Amino acid sequence: MNDIDEKEFHKVCRMLQKQHINFWVCHGTLLGIVREGRLLPWDHDIDFAVWDSETTKDEIINIFTDNGYEEEKVFGDMDCLHFYGENKKIDISFYKVEGELSSIKWAIPPHSFIAKTYLYCVGVIWSGSGRKIKLFENIFIRAIQIILNKLSLLIKLILPDSVKNMLYSYGIKLLNYTGYSYPTDLMKFHVIQYNNTQIQVPIDSEQCLELTYGSDWKTPKESYVWYEEANNLIDL
């Protein structure tokens, strides 16, 4: 068990509870707690979710920044926020209820190396920092990333806003979107105790996990590509 990740998890829970945010534990973090009674050491983030109708992104941003967290800018129109934790990222997903389904939208990284490079550079121009733009996959070695950062920041200084907007608009067109969906009837929660912290999880967590990770969700897999392997993806 990683003490840094555990402390981060409990810290975020206290932050959200203090502000009376209705949140629950989801995705890979829920999988680790239900299956193994811990946070998965190979998971790259800590996952929480809220209802889009109850909580705004500005509320969450204010809570995290007031507690010293830096937001990780995400290129594209997605139903989530990311923050830099001490060891892992903190992800907050905003679920929307649409009749019988509750869902969330994320961007799918393009397969082309050229497209990924373009999106990275545009992301740096857009955010003003290579650290603040989310890399969908770690395809760049550090040296290349530093070069791209410097070139992109130089371009940011010399390009007029109209050209920057055009580059951004084209980059958005390179993205496709999908996400998770669950029957709204499944999105009912109860409180459990996890290492002296009370957290909300789905009442039928096992069914939720099976919908996402498959019937063999109890078998650990250190490698998991969500947009290729999840069983409850939506078409957007």
Asked if 178 and 236 touch (Cβ cutoff 8 Å), the reply is: yes
The conformation of residue 110, written as its DSSP 8-state character, comes to: P
Which residue reads 């490079």 in tokens? 117
* Distance from C-alpha of 92 to C-alpha of 74, rounded to nearest angstrom: 12
Tens-digit pLDDT profile for residues 80-138: 999 988 888 999 999 999 999 999 999 887 777 778 777 777 777 766 555 544 544 45
**Rama region for 195: left / alpha / beta (φ>0; ψ in -120 to 50; rest):** left
Tens-digit pLDDT profile for residues 11-35: 999 999 999 999 999 999 999 999 9
Domains and CATH numbers, the chain: 3-102+179-225 (3.30.460.40), 111-174 (no CATH)
pTM equals 0.84
